[in-house]
Amino acid sequence: MSKKVYVGLSGGVDSSVTAALLKEQGYDVVGVYMKNWSKDLPGFTCPWKEDFTDAKRVAVQLGIPFKMYDFETEYRQKVVDYMVAEYQAGRTPNPDIMCNQEVKFKLFLETALEDGADYIATGHYAATKDGQLLRAKDDNKDQTYFLYRVTESALQKTLFPLGVYSKPEVRELAKKFGLVTAAKKESMGICFVGKVGIKDFLLNELGPQKHGDILDQNGVRIGEHDGAIFYTIGQRHGLDVGGGLPYYVTSKDMKKNEVYVTTDISDERLWHKELKLGDMHWINQPPKEGAKLQVRTRHRAALVNCDIYHTSEGATLKLGDDIRALTPGQSAVLYSGNHVLGGGIII
C-alpha cells in the first residue's frame, strides 16, 4: 500500500514539480490548494483565482485528486493580525515565518492527517531527516530561514523533495514533466497576498498614519515622515530627505513618533557585536551554553559565526563579525553546519 501525500499546490512551479516528483517516486499524491487570502486591495488584484486554476490544471495533468482547503479566517487571525500588530508596536515582523508555523505546518498538516494523509509536502527548498531540518543543496534558494519555527513532529510528517535540486534543475524538471507552470514567474510580495508592498497593505489596513519628525545623528530635524510604522532599521530608500549623502534609519520611537537616521554608514548604532533574542524555538534540543554556531539574520544573508548564551528572555549571541542593521521583530536562525537548530525574534 503506497503512502498518501497531500502536496500544497500553490500554482507555482516549485510545488508543481514537488507533486510530479512524488508521484514518480510511487506515492499516492493528492494536490491541495490552500485558500489563505482572496481580498483585492486598492490598485492590486489578489492572484488567488489564477493560482487556484494553475494548481488545478497541474493536478489534472498529473492525474491526481485535487482539493481546496479554506484557511482564510485562521490566516487572518494568525498571520495578518500578528503582522499588523507587530508593525504598530514598531517592530518588523516576518509573515512568511508565521504562515509556515501556524498555517502550512500546523493547520494544513493537521487537516491533511485527519483527511487520511500519511505525509504533507511543499515546494520549499529544504531537507528533513528523522525530524531534523537541514539546509537545501542550493544555497541561493535555501528556505530554511523561513522554516525554523516548524516542530520536530511536523517535520517527521513532511517531505521536501526539492531539497536536493537547484532552481534551474527544477525548471528543467518542470519542462520534462510538461507542466503548465514550467515558465511561470516567481511570486513575490507578502505571503499569499500577491505583489502588494507592505506600505500599501498597512495603509489599507490602518489608514493614513500621523506624520512626525525625522532626526539625524546630531538630533537635528531634517524632514518629516508619513508614519513611523513604515520605516525599518537600516532602510535607505523612501526617506524623501534632500541633501547629498544617503541617510540610513538607525531607530525609531513610536511614543514620540520620531524616526532617527544617520549619514554615517559606520555609525555604531547600525552595527552590532552581539544580538539579543526572545521567543525562542528549538526544533530538536536547545544547543549547549557557549556552543559555537552560525546565525542568519535575514533570508540570503551570510552565515556569521557566533557563541550562544541562554538568558531569561531567550538568548544572547556573541558575534564573530559585526552585523549591520539588526531589526527588532525579525528572526535570527541558528545553524550548526547544515543542521537548522531553531532561533528566535530579535529584541
* Run means of pLDDT, 10 residues per run, the chain, 347 residues: 94 96 98 92 83 96 98 96 96 94 98 98 97 96 97 98 97 96 74 66 94 94 94 82 82 96 92 97 97 96 97 98 95 98 98
The arrangement of strands across the sheet holding 212-215 comes to: 221-225, 212-215, 258-262, 248-253
Could you give the maximum distance between any two Cα atoms of the chain, in Å? 72
The set of residues, in sequence order, having a beta carbon less than 8 Å from that of 31 and lying 6+ positions away, is 6, 7, 9, 19, 55, 56, 58, 59, 62, 64, 65, 66, 67
Grid cell of 117 as nine digits: 494523509
C-alpha of 145 from chain center: 7
- Residue 59: enclosing H or E segment and its boundaries? helix 48-62
Q: What's residue 197's pLDDT?
A: 79
Identify whether 191 is a catalytic site residue. yes
Neighbours of 99 (CB within 10 A): 25
| DSSP summary character for residue 337 | T
Q: Give me the residues paired with residue 345 across strands.
A: 278, 331
Helix, coil or strand: residue 83: helix
Identify whether 99 is a catalytic site residue. yes
β pairing state of 66-70 and 158-159 = unpaired
pLDDT one-digit tens code per residue, 57-115:
999 999 999 999 999 999 999 999 999 999 999 999 999 999 999 999 999 999 999 99
In 3D space, the residue among 19, 39, 37, 21 whose CA is nearest the CA of residue 29 turns out to be 19
Q: What's residue 243's pLDDT?
A: 66
Contact of 159 with 121, CB cutoff 8 Å = yes
Rounded CA separation 146/280 (Å): 14
Domains of the chain, start order: 4-176 (3.40.50.620), 208-262 (2.30.30.280), 271-346 (2.40.30.10)
- Give the dihedral of Cα atoms 147, 315, 317, 85; nearest 10 deg: 60
Let me know if 67 is exposed, middle or buried by CB neighbors in 10 A (0-12, 13-18, 19+): middle
Rounded CA separation 125/39 (Å): 28
Neighbours of 6 (CB within 10 A): 27
Burial 104-124, CB ≥16 within 10 A → b, else e: bbbbbbebbeeeebbbbbbbb
Active-site residue, from 5, 21, 98, 99: 99
Amino acid at 303: L
Contact of 51 with 11, CB cutoff 8 Å = yes
Active-site residue, from 59, 191, 233, 332: 191
Sign of CA dihedral 74, 75, 78, 80: negative
Q: Give me the residues paired with residue 37 across strands.
A: none
